[in-house]
């Protein structure tokens, strides 16, 4: 992967509403899976899938403590990018990041309902 491709792949991973929501939940602190699930409202199967994508893209780091796995944003640059993107979005109350009430189907891609 070239030097240009790595950041592009990271941005692609971040562009999914559920993954962006997970990154937003992780902003500023490390959290375990249960905390992320509670804070985001994303159910366990979907959360695990999205966390795996974020790990593969190198956007989050993991740490195991006994049976708990803790996640954190991989670097300060991503924290800054997340803060900037969040500041450009409408208030959380206006966003539908959980997918509730959205249309589904092969032609409907991940998007924010604004």
User: pLDDT at position 96, please?
Assistant: 52
The pLDDT value given to residue 107:
43
pTM score over 0.75 = no
What's residue 109's pLDDT? 44
Residue stretches of the chain with pLDDT short of 70: 1, 91-114
Cβ–Cβ < 8 Å for 60, 73: yes
3-state SS, one letter per residue, for 64-114? EECCEEEEEECCHHHHHHHHHHHHHCCCHHHCECCCCCCCCCCCCCCCCEC
Q: Which pLDDT value is given to residue 1?
A: 67
Confidence at residue 92, expressed as pLDDT on a 0 to 100 scale: 56
Domains by residue range for the chain, with CATH? 5-94 (1.10.10.10)
Q: Which residues of 71-109 are buried (b: 16+ CB within 10 A; e: fewer)?
A: bbbbeeebbebbeeeeeeeeeeeeeebbbeeeeeeeeee
CA-to-CA distance for 64 and 4, rounded, in angstroms? 31
pLDDT at 97: 52
The C-alpha angle 41, 79, 111, rounded to 5 degrees, equals 50
CB 46 within 8 A of CB 18: yes
């Amino acid at each position: 992967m070239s030097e240009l491709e790595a950041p592009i792949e990271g941005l692609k991973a971040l562009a999914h509403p559920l993954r962006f929501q997970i990154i937003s939940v992780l902003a500023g602190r490390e959290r375990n899976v249960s905390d992320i699930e509670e804070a985001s409202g994303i159910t366990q199967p979907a959360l695990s899938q999205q966390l795996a994508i974020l790990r593969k893209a190198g956007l989050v780091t993991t740490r195991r403590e006994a049976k708990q796995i803790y996640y954190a944003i991989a670097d300060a640059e991503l924290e800054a990018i997340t803060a900037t993107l969040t500041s450009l979005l409408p208030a959380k109350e206006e966003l539908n990041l959980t997918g509730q009430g959205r249309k589904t189907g092969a032609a409907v891609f991940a998007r924010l309902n604004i």
